[in-house]
Amino acid sequence: MSERRNPEFEFRGLNHLALVCRDMRATVHFYRDLLGMPLIKTIDLPAGKGQHFFFDIGNGNSLAFFWFPNAPENVPGVVQPAGFEGGPSAYGSMNHVAIDIPAEKIEEYRQRLIDKGIRVSEIKNHDDSPRQISPEVNETTFVRSIYFQDPDGIRLELAGWVRELTDADVSHAPMDSEGNRAP
In the bound state with other proteins, the residue whose beta carbon lies nearer, of 87 and 122, is: 87
Q: Which is nearer to other proteins, 46 or 136 (CB)?
A: 46
| Least CB distance to other proteins at residue 129 (A) | 9
User: Are the beta carbons of 153 and 78 closer than 8 angstroms?
Assistant: no
Shortest Å distance, C-beta 139 to other proteins: 16
Buried/exposed code over 134-148 (b: 16+ C-beta within 10 A; e: otherwise) = eeeeeeebbbbbbbb
- CA–CA gap between residue 147 and residue 29 (Å, rounded): 19
Query: Between residues 3 and 136, which has the closer beta carbon with respect to other proteins?
Result: 3
Q: Are 133 and 147 in contact (CB under 8 A)?
A: no
Q: How far is the CB of 86 from other proteins (least distance, A)?
A: 9
We find the least distance from the C-beta atom of residue 117 to other proteins, in angstroms, to be 15
**Do residues 55 and 62 lie in contact, with contact meaning Cβ atoms separated by under 8 Å?**
yes
CA–CA separation, 82 and 3 (whole Å): 35
For residues 104 and 114, the answer to whether their CB atoms sit within 8 Å is: no
Cα–Cα distance measured from residue 47 to residue 49, given in angstroms and rounded to the nearest whole number: 6
Cβ atoms 20, 72 nearer than 8 A: no
DSSP, res 175: B
Nearer to other proteins, 13 or 117 (CB): 13
Closer CB to other proteins, 137 or 175, in the complex = 175
User: Least distance (Å) from other proteins to the CB of residue 1?
Assistant: 5
CB of 62 to other proteins, least distance (A): 9
Residue 136 or 180: the one with the smaller Cβ distance to other proteins is 180
